[in-house]
Structure 1
Amino acid sequence: MSTPQRPAAATRRVIGVPPPPAREPSPLDGGLPWVSGVLAAVQAVVLSLAVTVVPAVAVFVVTSADPSNVGVPWTRSVQIGAGLWLLGHGVPLGHVTLVPLGLTAIAWYTAYASARRSARPVPSAFLAALGTYVVLVLAVALSDPMTAGRAFHAAFGALVVGGLGLGAGVLRRGDADVLRRRIGRPWARLPQWLRAGVVGGVVGAGVLVVLAALTAAGWVLAGRAQVDAVVRGLGLDTMGSIVLAIGELGFAPNLVAWAGAWLAGPGFAVGAGSHFGPDAVTAGPLPAVPLLGALPTDLLAGGPSRLAPALLVVGGLVAGAVVHRRLVAERAWEPAAAAGVVGAVTGLLVALGVAAAGGAIGTGRMAAIGAPVWAVAGLAAAGAVLGAAAVALPAERLVRSAVLGGIGRPHREVSPPGSSAEPHEHREPAGTR
């Protein structure tokens, strides 16, 4: 008699889910590294140029039936769009030197995105991308008689904008671990208090940017009636309104930088003889530009606005918390040194931002636009140092021990040789936090 067979055990099928790739593969991964850099730079230039050239051409097409445009070639609109793009790279257009930082940010982002998508994470790809970017910006500048004599400005602006954007994009690739480690080695060799201070300074400057952006947004809301009046007075059609809006957004970061100068106390000027500050407002005649309708009025001057510079300490407080978190002090002076670095880095970044946001939009009164760079940077640095020291120093045990030891030393008896007045406390090695 045969024994009944047992039914086969039910098998469970497990479908493994592969981990998501670090990034989407690029069709250029198998080619020469420098080729990927060249193509990334070309892509960045084309994309950022389109932001200004396409609207300019669209306006030309819409207004081509206007009798005032008879005999004007369509290439003139391309030159205007390319000129604005060059202005975003710091290339002056005649007497106009005020850089629309919004266009600068767009150029930076297109370089960043293109490099992250297409450039190989090797030095040759980055150098090829940067060289191509500089050559293309120079080619655009030399193609227009108005900017042909500004080759140095074009090359310098391309190096700064393209270098920062392309470099950040290459380092952000998922397969750039080797390159990131290579660049990170010199940084890791720096003293820990110096590294903590630099990071804290960057964070502190970022907090000031947020506060300035909120202040500028408040100005826009408070002055929206004046902005609407300027827009209605211009009598623009739909296409003109769109182009104007794009242009206004291009200068929005400049308004944020001016708001930062207002918070710091020195304020800023839009035209010679004008002053916009928390203490007083002296406004002269202004161009019919809607964005200028959002500038603070004398209703915001004086009173509580005089306390605006106290907000600079807020960035320092946040930076001090960052320093305390990142620094395991081995000596009592290290938190104070880190707070000093916080102030230096914050002041330097603020100086760069305020300097970039100033310039001229013509001759005469409008040749003076912006804020006093070093006055604003100095006050921002002082506020950052005070805030960082107020958090980082009391929170550090070594500082507290040194202060208490200094206070109590005159009242202590001399300990016998070889003895210790305080028990030894084990501390974590630097870099563990």
Structure 2
Amino acid sequence: MNRTTVALLAALEAFIVVAIGIAIALVPLTLLWAVQFGFSVDWLVFWRAAVDIWLLGHGTDLTVTLDPVTIARTGLLEAGAPFTVSLAPLGIGLITVLLGARTGGRAAESGLWVTGVVSSVATVLVLSAAVTLSASNGTVSPSLVGGIVAPAVVYLIGLAVGLIGARIRRGAVVGGRLGNRLADMGDRVGDRSLGIIASSLRGGAIVASGITGVAAVVVAAMLLLSFGTVIGLYESSGVGVTGGIAVTIAQLAYLPNLVVWCAAWLLGPGFAIGVGTSVSPAATLLGPVPGIPVLGAIPTGDLPFGFLGLIVPVLIGFLGAAAVRPAVVRAAGGAGLVAALGLTAVGIAVVAGVLMGLLALVAGGAIGPARLQEVGPDALAVFLATLATTGVSALVGMASGRYGPDAG
């Protein structure tokens, strides 16, 4: 394919990605407009809401200013001043990343990946600017800069994942002059140091993935065990069938957030649903909780065996270190093996801590006025907890093996 064709195809795929992201919220909201409201409300209200949800899912903050009538109806007297909504539904951003990875892979296969990346990112920037301007109104106003830049950044992450994945499948992650320079740098650093760095990255990724995977299983189990409470919250909401579908889709978009919250719980710090609240293995301290059905799965009161959740990151840290230990042994070549194993264990803990801290950072935010400005886990606390729990277990994992010539 020539350069023009690649640019046009990349722009078309970027347009489809934006359209799909907005449609996830717009389709159920349009059904709500038709069935629940009988076309009596201006459809642009639902368009703006869908765009706001899409922008929020990509990390754009929304400024909400409620009118006196709405404040009086809801009883939210503390909402008299403008407040920020920043709790991003990670499911929407995740879809953009996955679709961006597909575009990045195709761009790499075409041989003109620079053209594809520039064209697709420019398209997302233009579309983001257009929809952000269309969504701004007196009640909800998305950040203009964030609305334009944030979706493009998230999409660029997906493109990078696709490009790197395609190059790995080809056997060359980085080519050209940059690849030659990195190869020269690798020669100067040495195979031993490169082996430690690579094993630290791989082990840290294994640990973070393992903790998140177990958290996903725990969330699924809690939803099943709290099925009656969740259904009761649905029934008491009075949103109807169409509204229930919209609420369910919104909860699915926030499901990755719940998984990260659960991972923070397993690590120890837990998470908050409002200022002064805490949900952790040690204790659960909650104030008034929004009547969102999925929140019915949150455990209430103290859990007698809640501390057993801390075993999960410890065990996964051990397994992650044990998985990469043979590679470290081969890279060390018998010289300074103990030091190499220790450095790799520390590297695994740091990488896992950074990854979990970043997940906690993007999974938290604000969902309302006053006390609801703090929702989700504390990123720094999650980082430190991951560093502590997986650091010790990774050291044990690295120490569990032979040290002779046949070590590993």
- Superposed pair shares fold, TM > 0.5: yes
**Cα deviation 1:247-302 (Å, max 9, x = unaligned):** 1101111111111111111221111222211111112111111011111111xx34
Native 8 Å contact 1:45 1:111 kept in 2: no
Larger Rg: 1
Q: Which amino acid aligns with 2:29?
A: A
Q: Following TM superposition, by how much is the alpha carbon of 1:203 offset from its aligned partner in structure 2, in angstroms? A: 0.7
What stretches of structure 1 move > 6 A for 4+ residues in a row? none
Native 8 Å contact 2:260 2:363 kept in 1: yes
Q: Following TM superposition, by how much is the alpha carbon of 1:131 offset from its aligned partner in structure 2, in angstroms? A: 2.7
Give the match for residue 45 of structure 2: 76
What CA distance in whole angstroms lies between the structure 1 residues aligned with 2:308 and 2:168?
Answer: 49
Give the match for residue 93 of structure 2: 104
Q: Which protein is richer in helix relative to its size?
A: 2
What CA distance in whole angstroms lies between the structure 1 residues aligned with 2:7 and 2:402?
Answer: 49
What CA distance in whole angstroms lies between the structure 1 residues aligned with 2:97 and 2:129?
Answer: 17
Written as runs of structure 1 = structure 2, the 5 A alignment for 1:312-327 is 312-327=313-328
Q: Which amino acid aligns with 1:221?
A: L
Q: Which amino acid aligns with 1:220?
A: L
Written as runs of structure 1 = structure 2, the 5 A alignment for 1:260-299 is 260-298=263-301
Give the match for residue 18 of structure 1: none
Gap change, CA 1:309 and 1:143, over 3 Å in 2 = same
**Cα deviation 1:134-156 (Å, max 9, x = unaligned):** 33223221222257661332344
Q: Which amino acid aligns with 1:213?
A: A
Q: Which amino acid aligns with 1:57?
A: T
Larger RCO, structures 1/2 (Cα 8 Å, 6+ apart): 2
Give the match for residue 63 of structure 1: 36
- SS of corresponding position for 2:30: helix
Q: Following TM superposition, by how much is the alpha carbon of 1:173 offset from its aligned partner in structure 2, in angstroms? A: 4.7
Q: Which of residues 174, 178, 202 is equivalent to 1:199?
A: 202
What CA distance in whole angstroms lies between the structure 2 residues aligned with 1:149 and 1:238?
Answer: 29
Gap change, CA 1:322 and 1:74, over 3 Å in 2 = same
Q: Which amino acid aligns with 1:376?
A: V
Q: Following TM superposition, by how much is the alpha carbon of 1:346 offset from its aligned partner in structure 2, in angstroms? A: 0.4
Q: Following TM superposition, by how much is the alpha carbon of 1:208 offset from its aligned partner in structure 2, in angstroms? A: 0.5
Q: Which amino acid aligns with 2:25?
A: T
Native 8 Å contact 1:170 1:176 kept in 2: no
Q: Which amino acid aligns with 2:17?
A: A
TM-score (norm 2): 0.82
Give the match for residue 159 of structure 2: 166
Q: Following TM superposition, by how much is the alpha carbon of 1:380 offset from its aligned partner in structure 2, in angstroms? A: 0.9
Gap change, CA 1:135 and 1:33, over 3 Å in 2 = same
Q: Which of residues 334, 338, 345 is equivalent to 1:339?
A: 345
**Cα deviation 1:47-88 (Å, max 9, x = unaligned):** 2222122222222122342xxx63x32122111111101110
TM-score (norm 1): 0.78
Q: Which of residues 82, 93, 109 is equivalent to 2:62?
A: 93
Native 8 Å contact 1:347 1:380 kept in 2: yes
What CA distance in whole angstroms lies between the structure 1 residues aligned with 2:274 and 2:221?
Answer: 22
Within the alignment, does 1:381 sit opposite 2:374 as a pair? no
Q: Following TM superposition, by how much is the alpha carbon of 1:105 offset from its aligned partner in structure 2, in angstroms? A: 1.2
Native 8 Å contact 1:343 1:385 kept in 2: yes
Native 8 Å contact 2:107 2:117 kept in 1: no
**Cα deviation 1:349-369 (Å, max 9, x = unaligned):** 111111111111111121111
Could you tell me which runs of 5 or more consecutive residues in structure 1 were left unpaired when the two chains were aligned: 1-27, 399-424
What CA distance in whole angstroms lies between the structure 2 residues aligned with 1:280 and 1:178?
Answer: 49
What CA distance in whole angstroms lies between the structure 2 residues aligned with 1:102 and 1:111?
Answer: 14
Within the alignment, does 1:248 sit opposite 2:221 as a pair? no
Q: Which amino acid aligns with 1:267?
A: G
Cα-Cα RMSD: 2.7
Gap change, CA 1:175 and 1:367, over 3 Å in 2 = closer
Native 8 Å contact 1:212 1:263 kept in 2: yes
Give the match for residue 117 of structure 2: 126
Percent identity among equivalent residues? 27
Q: Following TM superposition, by how much is the alpha carbon of 1:38 offset from its aligned partner in structure 2, in angstroms? A: 2.1
Native 8 Å contact 1:324 1:396 kept in 2: no
Native 8 Å contact 2:356 2:383 kept in 1: yes
**Cα deviation 1:325-362 (Å, max 9, x = unaligned):** 32212322111111111011100011111111111111
Give the match for residue 144 of structure 2: 151
**Cα deviation 1:209-244 (Å, max 9, x = unaligned):** 012112222221222211111011112322222111
Gap change, CA 1:148 and 1:283, over 3 Å in 2 = closer
Gap change, CA 1:381 and 1:33, over 3 Å in 2 = same
